[in-house]
């Protein structure tokens, strides 16, 4: 009997030991298993109301309303110097993360933009700017002004820009942005500030916050590496913040499907405004199906709703008879408005083609002022020879013009075209008769939508 009891006790001891080994093994497995980095929540900050006042007071138009044309991206890395510094930018490391940023942004936005957006991302990387006595990653989000103001003041001095030492960081960023926009001829411009967090506990700011951006600009702060995201993903983190600068919203689980984002969120045209709703919020009941996307860091591409928020929607056209905005497609992005010709007359005897060319801007409410699309070219093309006849008296930034084009009459039709500065092209065919038309004829056309 005693022997049986001993065997039973030994058996239980073995079972307990095995259970302990299993528990320890599971713990080791969970410890070593790659952890999902912390989602970049609470990183999209509303731009303060007074920042818009700076735009108006400084005479600076909006700098990142919608993602079209030539978009300039300035990176300005702070570098602490003096006592209390813990981070040092290695030149090779900085070049590497900047290269990651460029690659991720081009793959997300430039490669997925519709052709009519004519999107081109262009980068200017400034040298690290010395910040005396304060390590940026050791500050908190509320105290970020300390190092940003010092950094942007030195940037303005290096660029020879007159500045007020009392200027707010938003005004400073807007002035620096506008300086570069004018210098390079960009349509839009933003600043991204890479903050070195290699040695920081948790790779985040002292208050536990991480990378962030102001919706609609003018700048984003990009923590490298950020809060558990591996260095190989640093470029995508900056890419995500760039989306916020152009109005794109987070699509994490729990985000509201009714929340609107982007420049057209203020449109008084209801079906245009509704198109900017955050329909692809991850796994939310009542939302559109979730797709992997950059705004919840599950993929590199923008979600369908994100595309509209960035300004890539084509859901409206202007009725040529009533002038009302109607649901439908016309081949132009809604932010560009609809292009049209009116009163077109081809006079073969005089060798002239006359009429009016107009870009009707999509109306936007909420008092948001911005650079809008304007006429870049009005011209006729001989489809037989390919010869162009250009109207050469187009005023700068004109949205409409009465034109007279001197052209060589041909018996074949002429193609009359207009192009927008920020993108979009509208053409119609004008038939050449043997005599001038006795009455002006109105030609209106809508191009079919081009899906990318």
Residues 261-273 have pLDDT tens digits of 998 888 888 999 9
**197 and 161 housed in the same domain:** yes
pLDDT digits (tens, 9 = 90+) for 178-203: 999 999 999 899 999 999 999 888 89
pLDDT of residue 437: 39
**28 and 59, same domain (yes or no):** no
User: Is the bond preceding residue 225 a cis peptide, omega within 30 degrees?
Assistant: yes
Selected residue with higher pLDDT from 6 and 395: 395
Q: Does some domain include residue 197?
A: yes
Residue 425 lies in a domain: yes
| 213 in Cβ contact with 219 (< 8 Å) | yes
Q: Indicate whether 147 and 194 sit together in one domain.
A: yes
Sheet with 425-430: strands ordered across: 388-390, 375-381, 414-420, 425-430
Q: Could you tell me the pTM of the whole model?
A: 0.82
The gap between the terminal CA atoms of the chain, to the nearest Å, is 82
216 and 113 in a common domain: yes
Same domain assignment for residues 88 and 67: yes
In this structure, are 14 and 96 located in the same domain?
no
Better pLDDT: 219 or 432? 219
Strands 219-224 and 388-390: unpaired
240 closest CA partner among 100, 36, 91: 100
**What's the number of CA atoms in the CB half-sphere (13 Å) around residue 41?**
9
**18, 113: one domain:** no
Alpha helices in 106-144 (DSSP H): none
How many structural domains does the chain have?
3
Torsion of CA 293, 299, 300, 303, to 10 degrees: -10
Question: Higher-confidence residue: 388 or 56?
Answer: 388
Give percent above pLDDT 70 in the chain.
Answer: 80
The answer to whether residue 110 is domain-embedded is yes
Domain termination site, one of 225, 247, 269: 247
358 lies in some domain = yes
Same domain, 8 and 125: no
Q: Is residue 295, in this structure, part of any structural domain at all?
A: no
- The least confident of 16-30, 94-108, 111-125, 354-368 is 16-30
* Same domain, yes or no: 8 and 57: no
Work out the mean pLDDT of the chain and round it to a whole number: 82
Find the mean pLDDT for residues 38-57.
75
One-letter-per-residue 3-state SS of 6-37: HHHHHHHHHHHHHHHHHHHHHHHHHHHCCCCC
Of the candidates 247, 278, 306, which is a domain's last residue?
247
CA distance 336 to 375: 10
Quick check: is 271 in a domain? no
pLDDT of residue 61 exceeding 90: no
Q: Minimum mean pLDDT among 30-44, 289-303, 437-451: which range? A: 437-451
pLDDT tens-digit series, residues 140-173 = 999 999 999 999 999 999 999 987 766 789 999 9
CA dihedral sign of residues 143, 240, 231, 81: negative
The pLDDT value recorded for residue 38 is: 59
CATH number at residue 339: 2.60.40
Q: What pLDDT, on a 0 to 100 scale, did the predictor assign at position 444?
A: 35
User: pLDDT confidence of 352, banded at 50, 70, 90?
Assistant: confident
Task: Grade residue 232 by pLDDT with cuts at 50, 70 and 90.
Answer: confident
More confident residue, 274 or 30: 274
The answer to whether residue 448 scores a pLDDT higher than 50 is no
Indicate whether 93 and 230 sit together in one domain.
yes
Count of C-beta atoms within a 10 Å radius of residue 113: 24
Strand ranges inside 383-450, DSSP E: 388-390, 400-406, 414-420, 425-430
Residue 219 lies in a domain: yes
H or E segment and range at residue 273: helix 270-274
Of 223, 247, 271, the position where a domain reaches its end is 247
CA dihedral sign, ordered 138, 142, 146, 148: positive
Residues 231, 335 within the same domain: no
Range of the domain at 7: 1-33
pLDDT band at 9 (very low <50, low <70, confident <90, very high): low
Residue 287's pLDDT band, with cuts at 50, 70 and 90, is confident
Categorize the per-residue pLDDT at 421 as very low, low, confident or very high, splitting at 50, 70 and 90.
confident
128 within a domain of the structure (yes/no): yes
Evaluate if residue 20 carries a pLDDT over 50.
Answer: yes
Contact of 434 with 348, CB cutoff 8 Å: yes
Q: What is the pLDDT of residue 440?
A: 36
Same domain, 24 and 91: no
């Amino acid at each position: 009997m005693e022997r049986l009891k001993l065997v039973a006790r030994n058996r239980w001891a073995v079972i307990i030991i095995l259970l302990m080994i299993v528990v320890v093994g599971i713990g080791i497995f969970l410890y070593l298993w790659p952890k999902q980095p912390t989602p970049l929540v609470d990183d999209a900050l509303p731009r303060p109301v007074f920042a818009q006042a700076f735009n108006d007071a400084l005479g600076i138009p909006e700098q990142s309303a919608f993602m079209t044309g030539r978009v300039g991206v300035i990176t300005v890395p702070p570098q602490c110097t003096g006592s209390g510094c813990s981070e040092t930018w290695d030149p090779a490391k900085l070049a590497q993360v900047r290269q990651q940023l460029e690659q991720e942004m081009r793959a997300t936005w430039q490669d997925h933009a519709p052709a009519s957006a004519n999107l081109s991302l262009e980068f200017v990387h400034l040298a690290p700017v010395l910040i005396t006595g304060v390590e940026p990653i050791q500050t908190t989000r509320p105290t970020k002004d300390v190092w940003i103001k010092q950094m942007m003041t030195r940037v303005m001095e290096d660029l020879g820009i007159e500045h007020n030492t009392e200027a707010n960081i938003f005004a400073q960023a807007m002035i620096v942005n506008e300086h570069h926009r004018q210098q390079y001829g960009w349509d839009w411009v933003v600043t991204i500030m890479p903050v070195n967090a290699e040695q920081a506990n948790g790779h985040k700011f002292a208050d536990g916050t991480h990378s962030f951006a102001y919706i609609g600009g003018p700048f984003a702060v990009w923590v490298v590496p950020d809060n558990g995201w591996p260095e190989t993903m640093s470029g995508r983190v900056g890419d995500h913040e760039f989306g916020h600068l152009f109005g794109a919203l987070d699509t994490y689980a729990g985000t509201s499907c009714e929340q609107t984002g982007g420049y057209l969120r203020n449109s008084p045209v209801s079906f245009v405004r509704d198109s900017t709703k955050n329909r692809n919020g991850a796994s939310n009941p009542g939302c559109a199906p979730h797709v992997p996307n950059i705004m919840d860091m599950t993929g590199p591409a923008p979600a369908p709703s994100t595309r509209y928020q960035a300004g890539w929607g084509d859901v409206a056209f202007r009725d040529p008879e009533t002038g009302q905005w109607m649901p439908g497609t016309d081949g132009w992005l809604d932010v560009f408005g609809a292009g049209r010709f009116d009163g077109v007359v081809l006079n073969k005897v005089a060798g002239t083609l006359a009429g009016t060319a107009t870009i009707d801007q999509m109306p936007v409410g909420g008092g948001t002022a911005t650079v809008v699309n304007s006429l870049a070219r009005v011209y006729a093309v001989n489809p037989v020879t390919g010869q162009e006849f250009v109207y050469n008296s187009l005023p700068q930034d004109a949205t409409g013009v009465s034109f007279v084009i001197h052209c060589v009459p041909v018996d074949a039709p002429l193609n009359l075209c207009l192009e927008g500065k920020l993108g979009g092209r509208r053409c119609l065919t004008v038939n050449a008769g043997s005599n001038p038309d006795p009455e002006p004829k109105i030609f209106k056309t809508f191009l079919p939508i081009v899906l990318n």
